[in-house]
Structures are given as structure tokens and as C-alpha cells.
Amino acid sequence: MNYKHLLLIIFLVLNSCAEYIVKEDYKPITSISKSFFLNKGFALVYEESLFNDKIVKDKIDPRSLLIFQKNLKQNSTVKITNLINSKAIIAKVGKKTLYPNFYNSVISKRIAKELNINKLETYIEIKEIVENSSFVAKKAKMYDEEKRVATKVPIDEIQIKNLSSDISTENKTKKVMFNYIIKIADFYFKTSADQMKSRILNETVIKKVNINKITKQKFRVYLGPYSNLNSLKKSFNAINVLNFDNIEIIKQ
């Protein structure tokens, strides 16, 4: 075997080994990450009249730690945060039911009371807690204990410990202006954002759609801002004909 042939064989062997190692070490990010549901919007506080008037299809026990939420499976664990005062609590998702599309959930009176939710501005964040989270494991026992208490104690006497360890439980009373936008979606490319804007203008009664360049590769399509609840609801209901999965309402 001559010298040139020997060098060629060595090169091919080394090159094939290198390719094999690269392929074995490659692990897509998606294979180790798990997405979770997150939404900011207005909650509907359950009242018996909502059921009687057929606005909400099913009932919620006013003493329960329960919410209705269309995007999440029954018995999902969620963290509910009042975005006006930062108070938070852990709750469970009830069965699938019907309620007005504008609201991101229906919550029990107990949750509203403990989070000091103002009925004029029921702005909350719903965050899904994944099943294998250590946070869920630590709070599961507390949730069960609270649930047993709720079946025995009238709602006016219930006292819940705030389950969020990283926030203050002090009441902070401050006057804030009503100022919200409807976030449709964020895109990597301006052309994609432009296409979404055109679709909204062509397929709905919406007359104005905005695009905000947040970063070099993040373009947000949104409606607003809105200075009152009625105009916000009107635009939200108008965009609802496009059946987007997870429209968010963002406080400015």
C-alpha cells in the first residue's frame, strides 16, 4: 500500500468518527424543555346569578379553591396572581364549561376574597404548574388541608396563608389608571407580524392594528391601548372571530 492511499484511509476513518460523535452529542432543546400555559387577563368572579342567567354553564362552590379555564385540563394545578396587588394563591381547574370569551377564567368567591380582587378591575395571571414541579409537591398537602377547612367554614371566616413565598402580603393601596392593550402574538420576523396585521384588518371589524418592535427579533402585534373596560371588551370580542388560542390582555 502506498503512502498516499494510507493517508486517505486514515483521513476517512477520523472524519467518520468525528461525525458520529457530533450526532451522538446533539440534543434538541425541545427534547428537554416543557411548555406551560400562561395568560394575563380579566377573571369573572362567580355569582349564583351568573348560573341562573346562563352566563356560566356550571356552578362553583363559593368556598372552594376552584376555577374554570378553557385551555387547561380538569384538575390542573395553577397559580393565580392578582396583578394589581401581587397577591397569589394555588388553585385547581374544574371541568370544561362555557363562560364569556372575554374572561380568561371564572374564579370562586374565596379566591377573589383572599386575593383582594377589585370587581372593577379583576386583572389576574394564570400560570400552570407542571405536575413534576417540586413546588406542587410542597403545596399539595396544604391545598388538601385548605380544601377540608373550606367545607366547614363560612366564606366570611376563611383565612388563607398566601402561598407565594417571594412576594409581600401587605396591602398596597394606590390609584392606578385603566390602561390595557390586547396582545395578539409575538413574531420573530417583521413580515410575519405584517401578515397577521393584514389578516386582522381584512377579516374583522377592527380598524387599527399596531406592531411594536420589542427586540431585534421580536415583533408584537397588538390592539389598543384602551382606557375603559367597555372599549376593551368590544375589541376583544371583535378579534374573537379568528379563534386565536391564547390572546392576552396586558396592563401598560
The answer to whether residues 42 and 119 touch, using CB atoms and an 8 Å cutoff, is no
How high is the pLDDT of residue 82? 98
The DSSP letter of residue 121 is B
Q: Of residues 25 and 215, which shows the higher confidence score?
A: 215
Q: Of residues 98 and 165, which shows the higher confidence score?
A: 98
With 70 as the cut, is the pLDDT of residue 165 above it? no
Annotated domain spans of the chain: 38-157, 180-251
Global confidence as pTM: 0.71
CA distance 110 to 64: 6
How high is the pLDDT of residue 123? 98
Across the range 124-136, mean pLDDT stands at: 76
pLDDT band at 145 (very low <50, low <70, confident <90, very high): low
CA distance 58 to 95: 9
Lowest mean pLDDT among 98-112, 147-161, 165-179: 147-161
How high is the pLDDT of residue 14? 47
Q: Which spans in 151-216 are helix H?
A: 190-203
Overall size of the chain counted in residues:
252
How high is the pLDDT of residue 68? 98
CA distance 43 to 102: 9
Q: Of residues 101 and 159, which shows the higher confidence score?
A: 101
Q: What is the CA radius of gyration of the chain?
A: 25
pLDDT digits (tens, 9 = 90+) for 81-125: 999 999 999 999 999 999 999 999 999 999 999 999 999 999 999
Q: Of residues 68 and 157, which shows the higher confidence score?
A: 68
How high is the pLDDT of residue 161? 44
With 50 as the cut, is the pLDDT of residue 169 above it? no
Question: 248, 207, 252: which is closest to 42 by C-alpha?
Answer: 248
Across the range 213-233, mean pLDDT stands at: 95
* Domain 38-157: homologous superfamily in CATH: RlpA-like domain (2.40.40.10)
With 50 as the cut, is the pLDDT of residue 251 above it? yes
Coil, helix or strand at residue 144: helix
CA distance 206 to 234: 10
pLDDT band at 248 (very low <50, low <70, confident <90, very high): very high
Task: Return the ∠ at Cα 89 (arms to 185 and 137), rounded to 5°.
Answer: 100
pLDDT digits (tens, 9 = 90+) for 8-31: 555 544 444 444 333 333 232 223
Across the range 197-210, mean pLDDT stands at: 96
The residue assigned the cell 395568560 is: 39
How high is the pLDDT of residue 7? 52
With 50 as the cut, is the pLDDT of residue 193 above it? yes
pLDDT band at 177 (very low <50, low <70, confident <90, very high): confident
Q: Of residues 180 and 135, which shows the higher confidence score?
A: 180
Kindly report the CATH class assigned to 180-251.
alpha beta
| Strands of 180-187's sheet in order across | 210-215, 218-226, 180-187, 248-251
How high is the pLDDT of residue 35? 74
Q: What share of the chain is helix, strand, coil (3-state, %, to 5)?
A: 35, 25, 40
